[in-house]
Every structure is written in C-alpha cells, then in structure tokens.
Chains A and B, each alone.
Chain A
Amino acid sequence: MPMTNSTPRDLFPGALEMMILESLRRQPAHGYALVQHIQQRSNNLLQVEEGSLYPALQRLLKARLVKAEWGISLTNRRVRTYQITAAGLQHLEKEISSFERMFEGIALVLNPAKTPVQ
C-alpha cells in the first residue's frame, strides 16, 4: 500500500523506529509523549507525525521490540505506555552501529576535504 502522503516524513526506512527505540530506552513513554520528545530533542528539526508514528509502533510491537501497557501518566491521564524490550535494546544497538557506519560513509563522500588523508 503506497503511503502517498507520508513520503517527506520518513528520512529513510527504519529511522523513525530507531528514534522511537532510542527515546524509549531513556524512558518508557506513550504515543503523544514520543511525538513531543522527538520534536524537542531534535530542536524542532524533525517533526514526527502521527500518521507515521502509530504504524511504526505497531510494527515494533509486532516484532516484539517494544511492549505496551495501559497505565496512568504523570499528568494523571489514561495512557498506553510503551517500553523497550531486551530484543529491542539489542536491535537498537545493531541499528545504531550500522547507521553510524553508513553516516560516516555518506559524510566521507559528501565532504572529501575533511577526509583524514594524512
């Protein structure tokens, strides 16, 4: 199913999931809080939209990388809080390291001047 109206939102496949997992590693959160958190952490550079967030959360749930639980938030609201699992942590580590390598590669290609040639 082509997600025609969501193309500009995702940076690349897996990026959103990675950020969600990273946020959840710091602390469990519900959907709304995740949106706020990612937005703040990225200095408003990244705007996560609900249209991508919820399907992504469902994918993570299905892959058992996170688990969800109904509870009461600090602001006393009924919320469904997501928590990273052990498998999620492992997956995140792997993703981050592969992402870093990719990022390094991209940086080298885009900025040959800064290459540590010496």
Chain B
Amino acid sequence: MSWFLRIFQRNNLYSELAEEMRLHLEERTEQLMREGMSPKEAGQAARRAFGNRTLIEEHSREVWQWPTLESIWADIRYALRQLRKSPGFTFTVILSLTLGLGANTTIFTFMNAFLFRPPSVRDSGHLVEVMERNPKASGLEAYMPLSYPGYALLRDHNQTLSGFAAFDGDPRTVSWSHDGQGQMVFGQLVSSNFFSVLEVEPALGRFFQPDEERGGHGAPTVVISHSFWQREFAGDRAAIGHALVLNGSSYTIIGVAPSSFTGILIGSQPDFWTTLAMTPTLIHDPDRLGSDTSFWLFGVGRLKPGVRKNEAQADLTVLARSAHSSDPKAAVMDASLFPVQLVPAPFRGYVVAFTGLLMAAVGLVLLIACANAANLVLARAITRRRELAVRSALGAGRFRIVRQALTESLLLSMMGGVGGLAIAWWSIPLLLSLKPASIPVSFEVPLDWRVFSFALAAAFFTGILFGVVPALRATRRDLLPALKDERQLAGPRRSRLRSSIVVAQITVCLVLLISAGLCVQSLLNARSIDPGFSTRDIAVAQLDPGSLGYTETQDREFYRQLLERVRALPGVSSASLSDDLPLSTSRTVHGINIDGIAPPAGLDSIHVQIAYVAPDYFRTMGIPVLDGHEFSPQDIHPGSTAVIINQAMAQHYWPGRNPIGQRFKDEKQVEEIVGVVKTGKYRSLSEDPLDFMYLPLGAQSQEYLVVHTAAEQSALDEIRRVILSLDPNVVPVEMESIAQYMALPLFAAHTTGVLLAVFGAIALLLATIGLSGVVSYSVSQRTNEIGVRMALGADRLDVLKLILRQGMRLTAIGILCGLALSFAATRVLADLLYGIKPADPLTFAVVSLFLAAVAFVSCYFPAHRAASIDPMQSLRAE
C-alpha cells in the first residue's frame, strides 16, 4: 500500500524538498558571488531568478497529493480556524440556519413518516393495495374498502396474485379483562393469511394457519405485538399458550410479531391481531362477515412473479364487476390497485396538501435564514478583504479562493444541518403531544436515513445558496486598495446587494406572516363556530358493556342503573345516552320516503343521517328544542314511531307547514315527527346545514353517556367510580369533557395554526436580525461621515433620522413587494380558510404595520448608537 506509506512519509518528503531548494539557492548565490556580486546583491538576484519559493514548493508538494481530498481537508481546517476567530458571526449564522433547517427537517420527518417510508415488510414493492372504485363517482367518495364476500371472491378466483390478504381499517378498542378489572387495548382483525402474504416471520411462536378463517369458524387465537409482549409479559416466552380475555371471550396467544412490524397502516399500532373469523365475538357484529354491503376491509395482495400491476388490476376488475352483476341496482365497481403505503392511496392527496402547505411555509423560513447568512457572510467578506487580498497576492487563484469561501459556508450550513436534526429530534415528541389523547391512533415518526439524507442535502444546498454569491463577490476586486486598507471599499454596488437581500427577506417574511395570520384567524373562527350544542359543562363517557357478553336485558338494566346513579351525583343537572355524538368519526344513514317528494336521481330513497338518543338528550347537550318536545320515557319502546328532526330538515321537506305530526316512511316503519331541534354541525365544523333526524334509543350496547354537570373534571372521576361499582370489568372506551371531545374536530386546524404561528415567529426573528445587521453595519461604515455631519452642525436627532430613514426605506420596499406577493400566494390557502377571505384587508394591514413596527425597533438601536457617536473621536480615528 504505497499510498498509505506516502501519507506518513510525506512530511519527510516535504522537508527534503525544502532543504533541496534552500541548497539550490545557496549554490546559485555563491556562483553569482564568484561572478563578482556582493553577497546581498547575489542573494537577491538568486531569489529573483528562483521565483516564488513558496509557490514552487506548493506545486511540488501537490504532485504527491490527492489534490482534491487533501486540499479540501486543508480548506476545512483553515475555515474552522477562521470561524473560531469570529464567534459572534459564526454563532449568528449557525443559529439562523439551525432554525431554518430545523423547521424543514421536522416537517420533512413527518412527511417521510406518512408518505415516503414504506411499510416494514419484505419486498413491499411487489405488494399492492386493492380497493373498489365506483367509476361514476369522483374524488375520495369513489374509493371503497372491500366487503368480506367481495374480498373472498377476489382472493379465491384471481389469477395474478400469489396471495391476497385483508385487514380491518379501523383500530378496534377492546377491553382486556385481567386481575378483576378491565384494560383498554387495541386490536386489528386480519385475514388468516395476513402475515404469510406480507412475508413477516414471527419473533416467537407461530402465526395463523392460512385457512384458519375460511367459513367464518376459526379457533380463538391472537398474535400479540412485540411491544405488548414486552410491556405486559416482560418478554416472557411462556406468554405463548397464555389466554387473554378480550371483550368477554378467551383467546389463546399463539405468536409474537417481530418488533419491526406494527401493521401496514399509519396510525394504527395494534396490541394484538386476530382472524376475521372472530369478527362476531370481538366486535359484536354478527352480520358483518356475511354482508356484501359493509365495506370495511383493506385488501393487500402480493403480485405473482412477472405479473405487472395493471395486469392484476384488469384481472381483479373483471372479478369485481362479476360480483355485482346479479344485482342491477348495485353500482358497478372496478378494482383499483395501488402500491402498498402506510397512508392508503385515496387519502394521500390530503396528506400531501397538508404537509405540502407546511413544507412551503418552512421553505420560506429557510430562504429568510439563507438571506441572513448571505448578508452576514457578505459583511464579513468586507472586513476580511485584506486577508483575501494577501492570499491573492501570494498567488492563490480565484478558483482557490472561491472554493475556500464555499468550504466555509458549507461548514456553517452543515453545522446548521446538525442543529436542525437536533431540533427535529427535540420537537417531534413535542408536536406529537399536540395530538389529543382521545384520538385512538399512535404515530411512529422515526428519524431514519431518509431524514438524514434530507437534512444533509438541504444543508448542502443552503450552503451553496448563501455562499456562492458572497464567494464570487469576494474575489472580484482590485487588490491594491484592499492592501492599502482603504476605508471606502464598501461601494454602492456591494451595499445595494446587501440591501436587496434585506428587502427580499422582508418580502418573504411578510408573505409568511400574512399566511400565518390568515390561518390563525381561520382557526379562531373555527373555534367560535356554533356546533349546535353546548361545548362546556358536559362530561362524556363511551361505554361498551356488550363487549362483556351482556344480553339485551342486562344492557338495559345496566344503563338504567347507571343513569339513576349518575343523576344522583352532586352537581349533575341531567344525564342521557346516545349511540353517536355529533362530529364523531362514524355516521349512520337511513333511507326515507316522504309523500310528494321524489328521491334524488339514481336513488330510491332520501338519505338522512341519524342518531339514536334517550330522553333528556337535548337538554343535557344544550340543543334547543324549537317545536314539539324531547323524547319522553313513553316514546322509548320497540316499535315506537316517534322521531325528532332538525330545523334544516323541517324547512327542506315541510316548508311553511307545521312539521309536528307529519309522517314519513323510514326504512322499516312509518314515523311521526314529535319535535324539531336547532340545526347543528354533524360531520365537520365547516359543513353547510345538513338534514338530521333522531330516533328513540332502544337497546344498544355501545353508547355515549352524556352528563350535564357544573364540574366536568371531578364528575368524570365520580362517573368512573359509578361505572366500576356497577361492573368492574366495564372499561369506558373514552372518558372526557366535551372540550376534550371537541379537540378532535379542531385538530387539523389547531396543529396548522400552532405550526404556522411558530414558523411566522421564527421568520420574524430572522428578518429582524437581518435588518438590524445591515443597518448596524452601515452605521459602522459611516462613522466618519456621521462625525463630519455632526461637526458641521447636525444634531443627534438628524443622525437618528438619517439612519432610521435608511432602514425604514428598505422595510417599506420589502412590505410593498410582500403585499403584492401575498395577494397571489394566499389564494392557494382559500380552501383551508374558514370564515375569512384570502385577501382579508384587515389582516394585510395589521400584519404590515406590525412588521413595520418591529423593523423600526430593530433599526432604532443601531440608529441610537450612531447618534451617540462623538464627532471628535470619530474624526481623530481617521
């Protein structure tokens, strides 16, 4: 390994070379002296003839070097030395870049977690996700999961997949009874070939037999997740064979999934998996497996070797169409295939839009940070002009100096990149904690190699972006004035560049602040939307005693006692039950027929969303009854025909008439309207008024208990105690105040608002640093001029005005550009904004004034410093 030895011998080589050249000079000098020169003349002549010794030595050394590698290392060491010499500059640049790159890395980490990271299964490139698609519908509505019979048909008759599995898309909250009490765990129903199609190997024990679920009669077995195994069994191998009592039935643990496998759907990290055959026992829905109108399964297939995705799509579409051909009323469904990803394909658009908006915002923050860094580097280049001039005079080429300057900016940006990774690492748990605890999903947001590559690439381009212009600038100049240390080198060109960078910074900052301002206001508007029910003084508990195997009679008795005891609690003014709350994630729709009103085209009935409620529901929820009355206890019986509708529905179908006493045909019977209540929000806060009807609550096992009480939090504890006293095995699926419940519908808006506010604040901080930096620098350059002005009679106020005028002129230009750009940019936000126009004049005006005020303050300090210049001092310094 001669190159290896050379590295170590190199110093030797170099000193030999230096010695050799010294001797050469000596010999020449002696020769010249022999020819009659004085020793001094001879020495000078010899050196003149020899040329630039350092340069020759350097060129000779280069012969031995890997020119790039070694000189890059030399550049890095030199840059580090230079950076250490000006810690203030270094700190400010790294801080700016860390903030900018940190924001970008954080958002990218989320993007990666949702969009780029493949599921952790082998060879996921050959897996396809299968959904049904209604060719007549568009958008998200067109895509549907599969029904179990639909899945079974595709599984058994396809020609193109080597295996076809399915899993339930909803995480199931399940009560695990052990040691005399219940614990809430998450489960997922999967086809028995789920693990074998995904080619996942068990960490312990075995997985399901491939045909264990066929015919709907399988053994009650579960596979538990690695984390559940560690958490609950402390990693004990004896867990295999152990029985778990889940929702009232016993299941045997047969295997443990590997730690890397948490399912293939983002947000759901099941504690256990069981086969679809267990659907009736686990979720108490006996009809679901056989129903071809319940669409609830995500299909995932593995392509046979050599089969392309579109071939499989054609194959499955033929099958899917044949499934419905017997029923002329059913819509024709195609099969639609997507690459398997953690976010199912039809929903990716929303995730892309959401994260894309945030990415754009942090991109702007990074631009501002770059501008800051560029400005600081430019300012520093001026103070370093002598050093650069000396280097050029000593023979450094332009390329060499540019490369040295770029090395320095890359070094800075890389440090910023590392800082950015640290910020991401620190802020991601913080951001995840914004997620309301009541959302039954958990996200894995890893800092993996994609995040590292992104941080590296972003830092690299940032370094080039802010480094290249100052680097080129630094070398384009005459050496002489720099060597002579002329003060006025900072010509108008240079300050014009720096000024335009500041203007750009203020422009971008304003765009970001206006967008953030709009989003935050939209969030506040959304918060103040009247959902149609009271958002305070209500405690909510979601219960499922049916999961313990209660019969209908036991159910009814349980709830009767529960309501009785809860109503007796101190501070409780009313309590009621409902099978669904407005703005929850589920919805049930009934088809009704009203005399004289034709159903919408293509349908044989009018679809209306419904909820089952108990007496006192409207009083408890604070929903005003406008006409008629609430359900009375007499309305609650099988075959009851009483129905309550909302005002929107009343105006829609019985305009100008008294709706009370009107009848219409529901799915099974004729209903009679007994009351009309105020229209609220049912699906989302931003929806237009929807028709809605309430039916009397019969025996349903899974219900919401709603309690109106003056003290929500203490009431929650009391209610929990009451529930446990009735049956210690009943686990409330959720216990929360109505305010906590409302966190879910407001989640997206809330997160966006918080993030944009944070990014806006960072942008403002960076722009302020940039502006005050430029103004301070110009003050330091103009010390002389200010001294002269003061000596000639200008007072402090004149100087103050002079400097402020300069700063505020830049600000004004920046704000004007920013306003123009904002008009264009905020249009993109139109869809996301609630209750505010993208070009809201008040927001534009207030944010501009605010930015101007902050800019004024940041210019004031350097201006004040300028005004306190002692003219005698500054002139004497000359």
Chain A interfacial positions (CB closer than 8 Å to B): 1-5, 30-32, 49-51, 54-55, 57-59, 62, 77-80
Distance of A10 Cα from B553 Cα, bound (Å)? 107
Does B487 touch A at the CB level, under 8 Å? no
Pairwise interchain contact B64-A62, C-beta atoms closer than 8 A: yes
Distance of A39 Cα from B337 Cα, bound (Å)? 81
Pairwise interchain contact B397-A54, C-beta atoms closer than 8 A: no
Does B656 touch A at the CB level, under 8 Å? no
Give the contacting residue for A51; candidates B20, B56, B67, B400; CB below 8 A.
B56
Interface string of B40-58 (1 = CB under 8 A from A): 0000000001111001110
Distance of A3 Cα from B62 Cα, bound (Å)? 12
CB within 8 Å for A50 and B59 given contacts A32-B28, A58-B64: no
The closest CB in chain A to the CB of B67 belongs to A1
User: What is the distance, in angstroms, from B829's C-beta to the closest C-beta of chain A?
Assistant: 52
On chain A, the residues within 8 Å of B52 by CB distance are 5, 51
Pairwise interchain contact A55-B20, C-beta atoms closer than 8 A: no
Give the contacting residue for A58; candidates B27, B49, B63; CB below 8 A.
B63
CB within 8 Å for A80 and B16 given contacts A4-B397, A54-B21: yes
On chain B, the residues within 8 Å of A58 by CB distance are 17, 60-61, 63-64
What are 26 A-B pairs with beta-carbon distances under 8 A?
A1-B59, A1-B62, A2-B397, A2-B399, A4-B397, A5-B52, A30-B24, A32-B27, A50-B21, A50-B51, A51-B55, A54-B17, A54-B21, A54-B56, A55-B56, A55-B63, A57-B60, A58-B17, A58-B60, A58-B61, A58-B63, A58-B64, A77-B27, A79-B23, A80-B20, A80-B23
Distance of A2 Cα from B16 Cα, bound (Å)? 25
On chain A, the residues within 8 Å of B62 by CB distance are 1, 55
On chain A, the residues within 8 Å of B27 by CB distance are 32, 77
The closest CB in chain B to the CB of A34 belongs to B24
On chain B, the residues within 8 Å of A57 by CB distance are 60
Known: A31-B20, A50-B49. 7 other contacts (CB 8 A): A2-B397, A32-B24, A32-B27, A51-B59, A58-B17, A58-B60, A62-B64
User: What is the distance, in angstroms, from A53's C-beta to the closest C-beta of chain B?
Assistant: 9
Distance of A90 Cα from B448 Cα, bound (Å)? 56
User: What is the distance, in angstroms, from B52's C-beta to the closest C-beta of chain A?
Assistant: 7
Give the contacting residue for A59; candidates B23, B56, B63, B399; CB below 8 A.
B63
On chain B, the residues within 8 Å of A31 by CB distance are 20-21, 24
Main secondary structure of the interface of A (DSSP, over half): helix
Distance of A58 Cα from B57 Cα, bound (Å)? 10
On chain A, the residues within 8 Å of B60 by CB distance are 54-55, 57-58
On chain B, the residues within 8 Å of A51 by CB distance are 50-52, 55-56, 59
The closest CB in chain A to the CB of B27 belongs to A32
On chain A, the residues within 8 Å of B57 by CB distance are 54
On chain A, the residues within 8 Å of B51 by CB distance are 5, 49-51
Give the contacting residue for A50; candidates B56, B64, B67; CB below 8 A.
B56
Distance of A49 Cα from B28 Cα, bound (Å)? 13
User: What is the distance, in angstroms, from A83's C-beta to the closest C-beta of chain B?
Assistant: 15
User: What is the distance, in angstroms, from A105's C-beta to the closest C-beta of chain B?
Assistant: 30
User: What is the distance, in angstroms, from B530's C-beta to the closest C-beta of chain A?
Assistant: 74
Pairwise interchain contact A77-B17, C-beta atoms closer than 8 A: no
Pairwise interchain contact B397-A1, C-beta atoms closer than 8 A: yes
Main secondary structure of the interface of B (DSSP, over half): helix
Distance of A15 Cα from B62 Cα, bound (Å)? 20
Chain B interfacial positions (CB closer than 8 Å to A): 16-17, 19-21, 23-24, 27-28, 49-52, 55-57, 59-64, 67, 397, 399-400
On chain B, the residues within 8 Å of A2 by CB distance are 397, 399
On chain A, the residues within 8 Å of B400 by CB distance are 1
Distance of A9 Cα from B138 Cα, bound (Å)? 76
Distance of A30 Cα from B19 Cα, bound (Å)? 13
On chain A, the residues within 8 Å of B67 by CB distance are 1
| Most A C-beta atoms less than 10 A away, residue of B50, B59, B64 | B59
Distance of A93 Cα from B23 Cα, bound (Å)? 31
Give the contacting residue for B23; candidates A54, A55, A77; CB below 8 A.
A77
On chain B, the residues within 8 Å of A49 by CB distance are 49, 51
Distance of A44 Cα from B456 Cα, bound (Å)? 58
User: What is the distance, in angstroms, from A49's C-beta to the closest C-beta of chain B?
Assistant: 6
User: What is the distance, in angstroms, from A37's C-beta to the closest C-beta of chain B?
Assistant: 14
| Most A C-beta atoms less than 10 A away, residue of B16, B52, B56, B61 | B56
On chain A, the residues within 8 Å of B49 by CB distance are 49-50
| Most B C-beta atoms less than 10 A away, residue of A31, A49, A50, A59 | A50
Give the contacting residue for A3; candidates B17, B59, B399; CB below 8 A.
B59
User: What is the distance, in angstroms, from B327's C-beta to the closest C-beta of chain A?
Assistant: 80
Distance of A4 Cα from B62 Cα, bound (Å)? 16
Distance of A2 Cα from B401 Cα, bound (Å)? 13
On chain B, the residues within 8 Å of A30 by CB distance are 20, 24
Distance of A56 Cα from B62 Cα, bound (Å)? 11
The closest CB in chain A to the CB of B396 belongs to A1
The closest CB in chain B to the CB of A79 belongs to B23
On chain A, the residues within 8 Å of B61 by CB distance are 58
The closest CB in chain A to the CB of B50 belongs to A50
On chain B, the residues within 8 Å of A54 by CB distance are 17, 20-21, 56-57, 59-60
Distance of A49 Cα from B400 Cα, bound (Å)? 24
User: What is the distance, in angstroms, from B805's C-beta to the closest C-beta of chain A?
Assistant: 47
Distance of A32 Cα from B50 Cα, bound (Å)? 11
Distance of A80 Cα from B63 Cα, bound (Å)? 18
Distance of A5 Cα from B52 Cα, bound (Å)? 10
Distance of A57 Cα from B56 Cα, bound (Å)? 12
Distance of A50 Cα from B20 Cα, bound (Å)? 12
Distance of A79 Cα from B61 Cα, bound (Å)? 19
On chain B, the residues within 8 Å of A59 by CB distance are 63
Pairwise interchain contact A62-B397, C-beta atoms closer than 8 A: no
Distance of A52 Cα from B485 Cα, bound (Å)? 34
On chain B, the residues within 8 Å of A77 by CB distance are 23, 27
The closest CB in chain B to the CB of A2 belongs to B397
Distance of A11 Cα from B438 Cα, bound (Å)? 82
User: What is the distance, in angstroms, from B456's C-beta to the closest C-beta of chain A?
Assistant: 29
User: What is the distance, in angstroms, from A78's C-beta to the closest C-beta of chain B?
Assistant: 6
On chain B, the residues within 8 Å of A62 by CB distance are 63-64
User: What is the distance, in angstroms, from A25's C-beta to the closest C-beta of chain B?
Assistant: 21
On chain A, the residues within 8 Å of B56 by CB distance are 50-51, 54-55
Distance of A89 Cα from B446 Cα, bound (Å)? 63
User: What is the distance, in angstroms, from B53's C-beta to the closest C-beta of chain A?
Assistant: 8
User: What is the distance, in angstroms, from A35's C-beta to the closest C-beta of chain B?
Assistant: 8
On chain B, the residues within 8 Å of A55 by CB distance are 56, 59-60, 62-63
On chain B, the residues within 8 Å of A1 by CB distance are 59, 62, 67, 397, 400
Distance of A68 Cα from B21 Cα, bound (Å)? 14
Distance of A31 Cα from B59 Cα, bound (Å)? 16
The closest CB in chain A to the CB of B56 belongs to A51
On chain B, the residues within 8 Å of A78 by CB distance are 23
Pairwise interchain contact B63-A50, C-beta atoms closer than 8 A: no
The closest CB in chain A to the CB of B395 belongs to A5
User: What is the distance, in angstroms, from B715's C-beta to the closest C-beta of chain A?
Assistant: 80
Distance of A58 Cα from B14 Cα, bound (Å)? 10
User: What is the distance, in angstroms, from A42's C-beta to the closest C-beta of chain B?
Assistant: 17
Distance of A51 Cα from B67 Cα, bound (Å)? 18
| Most A C-beta atoms less than 10 A away, residue of B20, B21, B50 | B20
On chain A, the residues within 8 Å of B19 by CB distance are 80
Distance of A1 Cα from B395 Cα, bound (Å)? 11
On chain A, the residues within 8 Å of B63 by CB distance are 55, 58-59, 62
Distance of A1 Cα from B60 Cα, bound (Å)? 12
On chain A, the residues within 8 Å of B16 by CB distance are 80
Distance of A47 Cα from B304 Cα, bound (Å)? 76
On chain B, the residues within 8 Å of A32 by CB distance are 23-24, 27-28
The closest CB in chain B to the CB of A33 belongs to B27
The closest CB in chain B to the CB of A57 belongs to B60
Distance of A76 Cα from B57 Cα, bound (Å)? 25
The closest CB in chain A to the CB of B63 belongs to A58
Give 7 closest A-B pairs by Cβ, nearest first. A58-B63, A51-B51, A55-B59, A54-B60, A58-B60, A32-B27, A55-B60
Distance of A76 Cα from B399 Cα, bound (Å)? 45
On chain A, the residues within 8 Å of B399 by CB distance are 2
On chain B, the residues within 8 Å of A79 by CB distance are 23
